[in-house]
Amino acid sequence: MEGRKDQRGASAFCSAVLCGFISAAAFIVTAPAFAVSPVTIGGPFSLIAPDGSTVTDASFRGKWMLVFFGYTYCPDLCPTSLSEIALALDKLGPDAAKVQPVFITVDPERDTPDVVGQYIGAIDRRIVGLSGSQRQIAAVSEEYGAFSERHSSGASAGDYVVDHSTYIYVMNPQGRFVRGLKAGTPADAIADTLRRLMTRAGQ
């Protein structure tokens, strides 16, 4: 009987340890995955600029891209993040010419190209604002693994908020994802990250 108890106890202990390893492994894979993920982030896209012209991912080749998904009705995170990006450009000095921030709306129904243009113009014109059709936005969101979900906030159909991904995607001059920064990252940290990446790339 004592041997059976020991056996059952050992079995339970092993199961607990195994569950612990599985949980830890899941955390290790998911927690830092945004920065080192083997899954491809980014890819071809075709969107509309405020002037009505078509802009693709290839339009930004040769520059470090800071891609941020948001929407113009966003009350705090979006304007804060975009303002920090603009300040980071100031801190980079001449190296800012090597960087292209890109704002992509997740709310094309309200954020027409013209609306996006006015919104970005009030923050910093060095940022490129892009919109498009529902299909175009869905396609680029899928390429970047960006999440967005609409929630009603009032009686009318136009009263809603959009939950969305809260990351800045850093893409290298070849258009490949190199790392992610949390939305709202301070300008100093953004600038320092870009300087390190440029130095590593021999720029």
Residue ranges for the binding site? 74, 78, 164
d(CA 7, CA 76): 57
**In the chain, how long is the greatest CA-to-CA distance?**
82
Residue with tokens 């920064």: 181
Q: 55 and 128 in contact (C-beta within 8 Å)? A: yes
User: Are 67 and 171 contacting, i.e. CB atoms less than 8 angstroms apart?
Assistant: yes
Task: Report which DSSP code applies to 108.
Answer: T
Give the residue ranges of the annotated binding site for Cu cation: 74, 78, 164
CA–CA separation, 161 and 152 (whole Å)? 6
Q: How many helices (H) and strands (E) does the chain have?
A: 6, 9
